[in-house]
Amino acid sequence: MPEGDSVWRAAARLHEALAGKRLTRSDLRVPRFATADLTGRTTLDVTPRGKHLLARFEGGDGDDGLTLHTHLRMDGAWHVFPAAAKWRGGPVHEVRVVLGTADSTAVGYRLPVVELIRTADEDRVVGHLGPDLLGPDWDPARAATNLLAAPDRPLGEALLDQRNLAGIGNIYKSELCFLAQVTPWTPVGDLPDPEVTTVRLAGAAHRLLRANVGERAGHGAHRNTTGSHRPGQDLFVYGRARRPCLRCGTPIREARQDDRPTYWCPSCQSGPTP
């Protein structure tokens, strides 16, 4: 599943292509909204909210504005092409959304969530989310309070719960637990000085995601959490099973947590393991 920084970049590309422009083409290829037509409306903005994408359109006859809500989950992707260019995101039958302007076309492939709602009703689809790590509502103290609300819950699961803080995916989960020097199975309440550690974790998550949405990250961002520019040393533990820890040399371990591959260093990180 894409991390919050990937969704942020997708939103930025869509916003650049669509915002302030009138739609000349609209095609929602999902049964529920197959007859909906946004042609003629102007795109106001495309905004990320955690891992959700909200494309907002000006009001028309009988409405005060509409929002196209999409979510990428595991396989979804948005691509932007020049208006006359051939699409290259997958077979045509995987296209779920087409939004075109005079000079560009945004195509959503394999989108598992496509929903057209009144802009005034956005809270219905994203109101449950915790503070957005990359959004204007970011609040590390509130994120820490949310994490501490279930002290018996394993830290890895708590970090992935978008109701606590929005934007962390499986990669950042493993990396943040490494930085906190605890295993992902450690209960939140068992963290060293939980009140302080959760605030620091929230702050670290914010810094890491921010670092990976900058100009350096580019469109096809190669995510980096270590600060190293050496090949194969961009992540501390994620995807490094059986390879030596960058800090101590101990082989990295891998196991499943909530059916997701999870990585940790058995020497640098203390706490329970499977």
Catalytically annotated residue among 2, 48, 154, 187: 2
Q: How many helices (H) and strands (E) does the chain have?
A: 6, 10
Instruction: Note if 86 is an active site residue.
Output: no
HSE-up (13 A, CA, CB side) for residue 155: 34
Catalytically annotated residue among 3, 122, 157, 175: 3
Taking the C-alpha atoms of residue 101 and residue 21, their distance in angstroms, rounded to an integer, is 7
Instruction: Note if 260 is an active site residue.
Output: yes
Instruction: Note if 157 is an active site residue.
Output: no
- What's the N-to-C CA distance of the chain in angstroms? 23
- Res. 267: pLDDT tops 70: yes
Question: 188 falls in which pLDDT band (50, 70, 90)?
Answer: very high
Question: 108 falls in which pLDDT band (50, 70, 90)?
Answer: very high
What's the pLDDT at 61?
A: 74
Question: 1 falls in which pLDDT band (50, 70, 90)?
Answer: low
Question: 192 falls in which pLDDT band (50, 70, 90)?
Answer: very high
Catalytically annotated residue among 9, 41, 49, 51: 51
3-state secondary structure (DSSP) of residue 126? helix
Mean pLDDT of the chain: 94
Q: What is the mean pLDDT of residues 257-273?
A: 97
pLDDT digits (tens, 9 = 90+) for 215-242: 444 444 578 999 998 988 999 999 999 9
- Res. 18: pLDDT tops 80: yes
What's the pLDDT at 215?
A: 42
* Tokens 């009144």 belong to residue: 118
Catalytically annotated residue among 94, 200, 260, 261: 260
Instruction: Note if 56 is an active site residue.
Output: no
3-state secondary structure (DSSP) of residue 176? helix
pLDDT digits (tens, 9 = 90+) for 130-184: 999 999 999 999 999 999 999 999 999 999 999 999 999 999 999 999 999 999 9
Among residues 153, 211, 213, which one has the least CA distance to residue 185?
153
Ranges of H-type helices in 127-169: 140-148, 155-160
Q: What is the mean pLDDT of residues 88-115?
A: 97
* Tokens 């292509």 belong to residue: 17
What's the pLDDT at 216?
A: 42
181 contacts 268 by C-beta, under 8 angstroms? yes
pLDDT digits (tens, 9 = 90+) for 24-75: 999 999 999 999 999 999 999 999 999 999 999 998 777 789 999 999 998 9
